Amino acid sequence: MIGENLLVKEREEELNNLKEMFLIVYKEHEDLSKECVVLYNRYNLVFGKIFYDRYLLYTEILRFKRKIELYQSYLNREEEIDKNLVEVILNSELKEYEEKLAKILEEYRLAEEFNRLPLLSKNEIYEVKRIYLKIAKRIHPDIDPNFNEIKKDLWQKTLNAYKLNDLETLRECEYILDNFLHLEESKENELDNLDQEIEKLKSKIEKLQNRNNYIVNTFPYDQKELLNNSTLIDEKLLEVKADIELFRENLGNLEKRLKEIDPDYEKEIC
């Protein structure tokens, strides 16, 4: 019996250590996710407008190429060109490109809005992290065996507020935790149960670490070095501007070709 009690204490200590480790890795995950939001909006703010200009030209090139093909097919059949039908076909075939174009513009608009949001002070940022960790240690669903609907609501509210740096809401959550939420102590400390909880937590920690590794090696986090280097930003902008000049030249040639096929053609956008 004494030996089993010692094993239980050892497992309980190991479980508590794993809970601490889990919270560290989980906070890292949330911090990376928050940073990705910042990086994503910074990327769209810096490059969104010029990306839109480039993709607009690219889409117009596709439209002109396809229009020339359709016009030529009428001429090959010695038929009168049905311009209205051609436009219907083009709008249908290029719908996906137009939707992507609208998405690029919308992401740029949202990035502008994000850039206008007020910034927190260092003390406020510290307070956000302090409250979040306090609540996470008490009711995080992966370490609280008595997680219930009441805690679920509070946790979701906390998580959303943390992601948005909403300090006022986080303070409300802390007040609820301290004054209204009664936390039960788990009575399940049998050796088998502890071993199962330990293995579950180890698995969750590993999965979180893998997700964190994935985040730092994919977009937008992999653009962090670029966004923190004005020289690299200027180089990328120059590359896109070069693409734009080539697209404009290509588009001009296509317009000339279309005028040869259709002398009544009136210049469209771009």
Q: Has residue 3 got a pLDDT over 70?
A: no
Q: What is the mean pLDDT of residues 39-62?
A: 98
Q: How many CB atoms lie within 10 A of CB 232?
A: 13
Upstream peptide bond of 220 is cis (omega within 30 degrees of 0): yes
Sorted by sequence, the CB contacts under 8 Å of residue 240 that are 6+ apart come out as: 47, 50, 51, 54
pLDDT value of residue 101: 98
Q: What is the mean pLDDT of residues 41-51?
A: 98
Q: What is the mean pLDDT of residues 9-14?
A: 89
Q: Would 79 be classed as within a structural domain?
A: yes
Q: Would 3 be classed as within a structural domain?
A: no
Residue 190 banded pLDDT, cuts 50, 70, 90? confident
Q: What is the mean pLDDT of residues 82-99?
A: 97
Residue 4 banded pLDDT, cuts 50, 70, 90? low
CA distance 239 to 247: 12
Q: Has residue 189 got a pLDDT over 80?
A: no
Mean pLDDT of all residues in the chain?
A: 92
User: Does residue 191 or residue 234 have the better pLDDT?
Assistant: 234
Domains: count for the chain: 1
DSSP 82-113: -HHHHHHHHHHHTHHHHHHHHHHHHHHHHHHH
Q: What is the mean pLDDT of residues 246-255?
A: 97
pLDDT value of residue 178: 92
DSSP 6-49: HHHHHHHHHHHHHHHHHHHHHHHHHHHHHHHHHHHHHHHHHHHH
Q: What is the mean pLDDT of residues 11-40?
A: 93
| pLDDT, tens digit (0-9, with 9 covering 90-100), for 165-174 | 999 999 999 9
Residue 266 banded pLDDT, cuts 50, 70, 90? low
Q: Has residue 2 got a pLDDT over 70?
A: no
**DSSP secondary-structure letter at 121?**
P
pLDDT value of residue 269: 41
Q: Would 266 be classed as within a structural domain?
A: no
pLDDT value of residue 5: 77
Residue 13 belongs to domain spanning: 8-183+190-261
Q: Would 2 be classed as within a structural domain?
A: no
Q: Would 270 be classed as within a structural domain?
A: no
Residue 136 banded pLDDT, cuts 50, 70, 90? very high
CB contact at 8 A, 157 and 173: yes
